[in-house]
Amino acid sequence: MTFPAAALLLLAAASAADAHLAAWSKGMFCKNDLSTTDQPNAALAIQPLYNQTFANWWFHGPCINYPPPSGEFLNIPANGNFTVEIAANRAFTTLSYNGAKSSAWPDGKAHPDNYNTNNVDPMFPLTSTGCLSSPNLHAHNVSDAAGTAFAISYNNDITKAQVSDFTVFSVLQNTPWKRIATYQVPNLPACPTGGCLCAWAWIPNHCGQDNMYFNGYRCQVTGALASAKAVASPSPPVWCESDQGSCLVGAKQFTIQYQQEGNNVKLPGGFQKDGSWPSPGYNSKMGFTAGAQTDIFSNAVAAATPNTCPNPSTTVTVQFVKTSTVTSTSTVVVTATASAAKVTSSAAAVTTSTSAKATSSAAARRSFFARREFYHPIME
């Protein structure tokens, strides 16, 4: 695929700076930036989201059109854990160069174990706001790292899934920090055929521009128990820093903040306890406990949904016929358990979305890169 020259420049600038972070793993959208070939230096996914329209932050804007290859998932073991690599560039993970450029830290560099702003690495002077500059952790020290989260949607239709379909199921406190990040998983039920959608989210506690991070994944729950309860419909999280008794217990959405559209959290006036503006991170201020979120289930046992994982795939070639003219030929991969009815309806969905998708994806890409402020210089 070819990029407009301006886009290439922006991408190059993004990878040169030790800017920002994403959770890299199999199954992620934009693992190869806006390309369908291997991009070991991919870094679009790390761009923070600030003052964006819904279309520009949801699934990280144009990344929504760059899903993982068919059949590739981030595996989420029910009642277990899974590991992703938090890094400023795919180059600094084991997904690139056999891990040769990776270190214990998200920037591929060496730092002291007790890295903090009172123990500064002379190679990496502090930012102008006095925070660690590399990796760009938006923090002074590990206890200042705001926390990151994974959310899951059992609606796996990328064209229809909504914010209200995503429930935060795991919080890793005091992250992002080092590259390896292991998230604990509650008793999640199996995903429908085709897996689930997942999202990684982070809202830093200041230390630079107030940003939101949101990356998408195709994921699947492995080892799910047949008795697992369905995930309840999630509500937006609620600020409860100074009154922990008022925290919202139960299924919570991920937090949307600092955007032009979609913000779902009310913040109090004044300051939070540390003296800065209220920052709605994945921590006790928003009623999130550390680890697996075990309070997210409804009382109903989840509907039996086949997990596609162990099933072999079958490739079927389908011709889409419109007003007796062949308009396109497409390959649809279905699992052995999918019914004929499913194939028909998925073919119909592809027919209706193919041309619209192509147009909207090109338009989205243009507008994304036209929005220079998306790559606004980060005030640190």
Q: Which residues bind ligand NAG (CB under 6 A)?
A: 51, 80-81, 116, 140-141, 143-144, 182, 260
Q: Which whole-number Å values give the CA distances from 238 to 191, 206, 235, 255, in the listed order?
A: 28, 19, 9, 9
Q: At its nearest, how many Å lie between ligand NAG and the CB of residue 260? A: 6
Instruction: Choose between 139 and 228: whose C-beta lies nearer to ligand NAG.
Output: 139
Q: At its nearest, how many Å lie between ligand NAG and the CB of residue 341? A: 38
Give strand pairing partners of 198. 152, 217
Instruction: Choose between 136 and 153: whose C-beta lies nearer to ligand NAG.
Output: 136
Q: Which whole-number Å values give the CA distances from 115 to 71, 72, 130, 143, in the listed order?
A: 39, 35, 14, 11
Q: How far is CA 341 from the centre of its chain?
A: 32
Q: At its nearest, how many Å lie between ligand NAG and the CB of residue 205? A: 8
Residue closest to ligand NAG, measured at CB: 140
Q: Return the structure tokens found at 201.
A: 């989210």
Q: At its nearest, how many Å lie between ligand NAG and the CB of residue 369? A: 15
Neighbours of 352 (CB within 10 A): 13
Buried b (16+ CB within 10 A) or exposed e, 110-134: ebeeebebeeeeeebeebeeebbbb
CB 247 within 8 A of CB 235: no
Instruction: Choose between 170 and 308: whose C-beta lies nearer to ligand NAG.
Output: 170
Q: At its nearest, how many Å lie between ligand NAG and the CB of residue 294? A: 15
Instruction: Choose between 39 and 279: whose C-beta lies nearer to ligand NAG.
Output: 279
Q: At its nearest, how many Å lie between ligand NAG and the CB of residue 118? A: 6
Instruction: Choose between 38 and 261: whose C-beta lies nearer to ligand NAG.
Output: 261
Which amino acid belongs to residue 55? Answer: A
Give strand pairing partners of 331. 317
Instruction: Choose between 38 and 274: whose C-beta lies nearer to ligand NAG.
Output: 274
Helix or strand (DSSP H, E) at 334: strand 325-335
Cα 198 to Cα 196: distance, rounded to the nearest angstrom: 6
**Closest among 278, 106, 115, 119 to 205, alpha carbons compared:** 278
The CA-CA-CA angle for residues 59, 60, 63, to 5°, reads: 80
Q: At its nearest, how many Å lie between ligand NAG and the CB of residue 280? A: 17
Instruction: Choose between 94 and 164: whose C-beta lies nearer to ligand NAG.
Output: 94
Instruction: Choose between 35 and 79: whose C-beta lies nearer to ligand NAG.
Output: 79
Cα 322 to Cα 326: distance, rounded to the nearest angstrom: 6
Q: At its nearest, how many Å lie between ligand NAG and the CB of residue 134? A: 17
